[in-house]
Structure 1
Amino acid sequence: MTERQDPAPTGSANVEWIAVDWGTTHLRAWSMQGNQVLRQAASDDGMASLSRDGFEPALLKLVGGWLSAGKVTPVIACGMVGSRQGWIEAPYVAVPCPPLSAAHVVRGVSHDPRIAVWVVPGLRQDAPADVMRGEETQIAGLLVADPDLSGTVCLPGTHTKWANVRAGKVLEFSTFMTGELYALISGHSVLRHGLGTTSDWHQPSFEAAVEEALQAPAGLAAGLFRLRAEGLLHAMAAEAARARLSGLLIGNELAALRSRLDGPVTLVGAPGLSALYAAALVIAGYEPRIVDGANLTLAGLSLARESILEDIRRPA
């Protein structure tokens, strides 16, 4: 397991609360004074590696140094920590709804008297069936900065989310397993022999594959095997093959969405992957904007804390 911590500018007495983003493979935490980050830490103790009774020890191992005896520190968490396999199940909230509200944040049970834990729920869509956990907090953080946002929000990742957002609510959303498909194909299919391990990239090959997928999305399976044939017969370079694989998959994703994208498109995520989606969207005829998602989870968790405090202070 890998743990990373930044040097602490202040002592634990200054910590008012702790923000936590708990994903499938990683755990990230921030010690907070109001909306100011005092310290941050991360580990590989994701949901997938923990049993139900392993979550609290994993959290305390990471943030125990931020806690003080005789003081209860609120912990506000989002992500897979609230799943059925997580620490505290936070039932999904059905869309259309705000991405985050205090009424649905779940108070958890913890054994250490120094912490009180709340978990932000994910969102659900009954027809067609879909779910998200963690992305709703990023969307909430996006709305903090842009409360009048109206359009489509794309959150690229292993399971890319596309959400229709208007009037402060998520109206509907779709999930595409494009990132996971890329990992499976490049790591376990016959195509892996031609993809190599290079990190080099050939942007023209990516763009040509996006265009191909947009024009003939039904030909995806045949287009994938042509990558193998091009390698065998014409010695296609690994960087071109990897770029084409990505372009075919992302282009096919956009082909499925073309008639459903509503309004301007905002991309939220890691810069590299967001740039690929932006290039593909331009080919499809859109003018997306990119927002760095690094701070949006924290902004959403800060909003959750404010809502929880207001709810606690409200007279019965």
Structure 2
Amino acid sequence: MSDAITYADWIAVDWGTTNLRAWAMQSDGQAYDQATSDKGMAGLTQDQFEPTLLALIEPWLGKPETPIIACGMVGSRQGWAEAPYNSVPTKPHAVLHEAPCADQRIKMYILPGLKQNDPPDVMRGEETQIAGFLASEPQFDGVICLPGTHAKWVHISAGEVVSFQTFLTGEMFNLLAKSSVLRHSVGDGSDWDEDAFVEAVSDTLSKPETMAARLFQIRAGDLLQGVSCGTSRARLSGALLGAELAATRPYWLGQNIALVGAPKLNAIYAAALQAQGLTLTQHDGDPMTLKGLTAAYKDLIS
């Protein structure tokens, strides 16, 4: 946080399970200061939410009822106040949920997550990145992929989320790499074999039913052939992502594709998709979150 003290016209907040980020905003949508904390929702009790936020944003408060626009797990059942899911099809930044505040200097609004009843699926937080992307690309029609621990594939048409699918690919990678027999083969370093990754993606994409066998082959390759950790790690990632791409083929085949997420994860997904001859664009997820919160604020005051 900078030393300068300027009162915020409004405050943007991204509050997840493990982290809290806040931006002091001007009415024109420009952030002049920001602050971060490791006090995510998972580590707090209900009575700690408001004091924790106030401790972070105190220097920015100078007006009565400064609006706070928040997204993420802050709106979950275990969060500050539950913001019920909106059903698709819907615009990603729909009606805000007003949450109670004890401190009269702030007024809290929480973005609702999205739900899909058939097949059942939910998102909370990603809808704000989608809203930010659409604020920058209002004419976009196609598919947005949001790589992450729980990757989302989202069909966009006429500015609305039509449908979406969530994949545990990132969580499965972490579990297998850290807790399964494969932990002895993949290591925990940053070594990476790009060719092995692309080959594994293509192999599993063509025959996704063989994925479980291919995963054990990673261990056998280490034991019998001395395959390096970098190659084994890339093959694990490629096998899992290949299965994800096989399942999402109806989403991405013949569609405009935009990747919205952390640049490192975007690059991995881009390599997998480009190896299949697809073209796409890549967008850092953090700026999209702030743009999405800004779009929600503009809707609030309009």
**Aligned partners of 2:35 and 2:14: how far apart in 1?**
11
Residue 51 of structure 1 deviates from its aligned partner by 1.9
The match for 1:192 among 183, 187, 190 is: 183
Residue 288 of structure 1 deviates from its aligned partner by 1.4
Alpha-carbon displacement from aligned partner over 1:56-85 (angstroms, at most 9, x marks no partner): 1221122122223x6321110001110111
The match for 1:210 among 201, 217, 220 is: 201
1:57-206 to structure 2, matched below 5 A, reads: 57-68=51-62, 71-101=64-94, 104-206=95-197
Q: Residue 259 of structure 1: SS of its match in structure 2? A: helix
Q: Which amino acid aligns with 2:36?
A: A
User: Which residue number corresponds to residue 290 of structure 2?
Assistant: 298
| Range moving further from structure 2, 293-302 or 253-262 | 253-262
User: Which residue number corresponds to residue 15 of structure 2?
Assistant: 22
Residue 261 of structure 1 deviates from its aligned partner by 2.5
Structure 1 unaligned blocks of 5 or more: 1-5, 311-316
**Aligned partners of 1:160 and 1:246: how far apart in 2?**
13
Residue 235 of structure 1 deviates from its aligned partner by 1.0
Q: Residue 31 of structure 1: SS of its match in structure 2? A: strand
**Aligned partners of 1:64 and 1:232: how far apart in 2?**
57
**Aligned partners of 2:207 and 2:42: how far apart in 1?**
37
Aligned-residue sequence identity (percent) comes to 50
Asked whether the equivalents of residues 75 and 83 of structure 2 are also in contact (C-alpha less than 8 Å), the reply is yes
Q: Under a length normalisation based on structure 1, what TM-score does the superposition of the two structures give? A: 0.92
Say how many residue pairs are matched: 300
Q: Residue 278 of structure 1: SS of its match in structure 2? A: helix
Asked whether the equivalents of residues 155 and 251 of structure 2 are also in contact (C-alpha less than 8 Å), the reply is no
**Aligned partners of 1:52 and 1:11: how far apart in 2?**
29
Residue 259 of structure 1 deviates from its aligned partner by 2.3
Q: Residue 250 of structure 2: SS of its match in structure 1? A: coil
Asked whether the equivalents of residues 5 and 59 of structure 2 are also in contact (C-alpha less than 8 Å), the reply is no
Asked whether the equivalents of residues 99 and 109 of structure 2 are also in contact (C-alpha less than 8 Å), the reply is yes
Q: Residue 54 of structure 1: SS of its match in structure 2? A: helix
Q: Which amino acid aligns with 2:170?
A: G
Q: Which amino acid aligns with 2:227?
A: M
**Aligned partners of 1:71 and 1:89: how far apart in 2?**
24
1:268-307 to structure 2, matched below 5 A, reads: 268-307=260-299
Q: Residue 251 of structure 2: SS of its match in structure 1? A: coil
**Aligned partners of 2:182 and 2:68: how far apart in 1?**
45
Asked whether the equivalents of residues 155 and 269 of structure 1 are also in contact (C-alpha less than 8 Å), the reply is yes
Q: Which amino acid aligns with 2:41?
A: M
Asked whether the equivalents of residues 254 and 284 of structure 1 are also in contact (C-alpha less than 8 Å), the reply is no
Residue 284 of structure 1 deviates from its aligned partner by 2.6
**Aligned partners of 2:50 and 2:236: how far apart in 1?**
40
| 2:213 equivalent to 1:222 | yes
1:249-264 to structure 2, matched below 5 A, reads: 249-261=240-252, 263-264=255-256
User: Which residue number corresponds to residue 40 of structure 1?
Assistant: 34
Q: Which amino acid aligns with 1:296?
A: M
User: Which residue number corresponds to residue 246 of structure 1?
Assistant: 237
Residue 52 of structure 1 deviates from its aligned partner by 1.9
Q: Which amino acid aligns with 2:2?
A: P
Structure 2 unaligned blocks of 5 or more: none
**Aligned partners of 1:176 and 1:118: how far apart in 2?**
29
Q: Under a length normalisation based on structure 2, what TM-score does the superposition of the two structures give? A: 0.96
Q: Residue 33 of structure 2: SS of its match in structure 1? A: strand
**Aligned partners of 2:236 and 2:169: how far apart in 1?**
11
Residue 31 of structure 1 deviates from its aligned partner by 0.6
Q: Which amino acid aligns with 1:127?
A: D
Asked whether the equivalents of residues 210 and 248 of structure 1 are also in contact (C-alpha less than 8 Å), the reply is yes
Residue 276 of structure 1 deviates from its aligned partner by 0.7
Residue 260 of structure 1 deviates from its aligned partner by 3.0
Root-mean-square deviation over aligned CA pairs: 1.2
**Aligned partners of 1:248 and 1:197: how far apart in 2?**
18
User: Which residue number corresponds to residue 236 of structure 1?
Assistant: 227
Asked whether the equivalents of residues 96 and 112 of structure 2 are also in contact (C-alpha less than 8 Å), the reply is yes
Q: Which amino acid aligns with 1:137?
A: T
**Aligned partners of 1:54 and 1:255: how far apart in 2?**
44
**Aligned partners of 1:232 and 1:281: how far apart in 2?**
31
